[in-house]
Every structure is written in structure tokens, then in C-alpha cells.
Amino acid sequence: YAPELPRPPSDAQVGALHPTASLHDGGWLELGASEWLADKHILADYALLAQDLQRDNPDLAARTRLVDPLVALYHLRLGAEILALRAFQRIVHDQNGDDTADFLFVPVSNAQPDRPGDHWSLLLVDRRVRESPVAYHYDSARGYNDQPAAEFAARLGARLEPARMAQQPNSYDCGVFMVDGTRALVRRLAQGYQPAVLHLDNLVADRQALQNRLRG
């Protein structure tokens, strides 16, 4: 489950995470044993993953976007149509202005303008066929985030498809499942698997490993 996402992002934050995105000090990113993940934890872990992907598989890195959770919420899902369109264009286009984004990883929060969110899930958007993108929804509390996932898919013009994911055993690890699911899916894409067959039935979320990554 997830705490409130407290602030809309500035325009400068809109877009894909850059592999050299700076991380904050370890104290700021400290994550307790049963603490809900905040957008800062997800953003930091996505930045680390982007760095690893750029180093290990630059071709896939060039075709993959790990979306800032605040951009996803305040721009893509809850923002006005024109704001959502601008954010989307900045996410999918590279520094040369070319749309190179085959895969989008979008953190899904069920927050509303007047209500903080309490759950994270994940969309993997397969855009290899630009005219008919597919959004695969991974939710560690099955059904909990169906509505916000549908809203995201509609905004992205994508067909929404459910994907299987291991279910969280407690009330606080949804964010860990989300970031670890992202990492698992990126590994599978790097191995040449197709998104349509990428289920996460056997995913084991590892909070300790995430804590270690965030501490550096």
C-alpha cells in the first residue's frame, strides 16, 4: 500500500528517467521494515535500474521508459488532456525527437485529487506496434487497482490486459512487488521474451534487497 503522493511534478521532471538521475542521500531514502513505499523510493529504484540497463543492455535501454510515479499520476492520469499529451510526448521521444519507446513501465496509484492513494500496481505498456499498444496490468492485490489501471490505459490509447502476479502476503508490500516486478520484467525482456507471455506468478518481493539498493 502507498502513502499520499504529496506534490505535482514540475515541468522539468516530466519524461523518462535519465540513467544519470541523481539519488538522494541514504537517510532520505531510508525504508522501514513495514513502511509503505513513497514515490521517492520508486523514483530512486527506477533510477538505479535505468543505470543498470544502460550499462548492460543499451539497446533495450533506448527503447524502455521507466516513468516517474508523480508524472504518471498528476500528468498522465489526472492531468488535463493537453497536459497528459505533452507529458506523453516527452516520455516517448528521445533527445533527438524520435519516438523510440517500445516499452513503458508505469507505476499505478489509486490516488484521487481529493484523496491520497493506498495501493501501487504496475502497467507494462507494449508499444512496439504504435497503432495498437497493449497495457499489461500487474497487481499484487488482484482487482484493487482495476479502475486506475483502466484510466491509465484509456489515456494511453492502449488495450488493457490483466497479467498474473504473485499476491502480497501483507498490507504494506505492494510497492515492493511493483518495483521488483519491474525489474523481473526488464530481465525477461532482455532475454527476448514477449510481453504477452510475461506473468509474474512466482515473483518473490525482497524488501531487504530494496533497502540495500536504496542505502547504496
pLDDT of 11 over the 50 cut: no
Please report how many Cα atoms fall inside a 13 Å half-sphere around the Cα of residue 145, on the Cβ side. Answer: 32
More confident residue, 16 or 180: 180
Q: What is the pLDDT of residues 129-142, one digit of tens each?
A: 999 999 999 999 99
- What's the confidence (pLDDT) of residue 117? 86
Is residue 181, in this structure, part of any structural domain at all?
A: yes
Is residue 192, in this structure, part of any structural domain at all?
A: yes
Lowest mean pLDDT among 1-10, 117-126, 134-143: 1-10
pLDDT above 90: percentage of residues in the chain: 80
pTM for this prediction: 0.88
Q: What is the pLDDT of residues 55-89, one digit of tens each?
A: 999 999 999 999 999 999 999 999 999 999 999 99
Q: How many domains does the chain have?
A: 1
Domain that holds residue 186: 39-215
Question: How confident is residue 27, by pLDDT bands cut at 50, 70 and 90?
Answer: low
Is residue 133, in this structure, part of any structural domain at all?
A: yes
Is residue 146, in this structure, part of any structural domain at all?
A: yes
pLDDT of 5 over the 50 cut: no
pLDDT of 15 over the 70 cut: no
Is residue 11, in this structure, part of any structural domain at all?
A: no
Is residue 1, in this structure, part of any structural domain at all?
A: no
Mean pLDDT of the chain: 88
We report the CATH number of the domain holding residue 130 as 3.40.395.10
pLDDT of 93 over the 90 cut: yes
Is residue 3, in this structure, part of any structural domain at all?
A: no
Is residue 27, in this structure, part of any structural domain at all?
A: no
pLDDT of 4 over the 60 cut: no
State mean pLDDT over 22-28.
51
| C-alpha cell at position 198 | 510475461
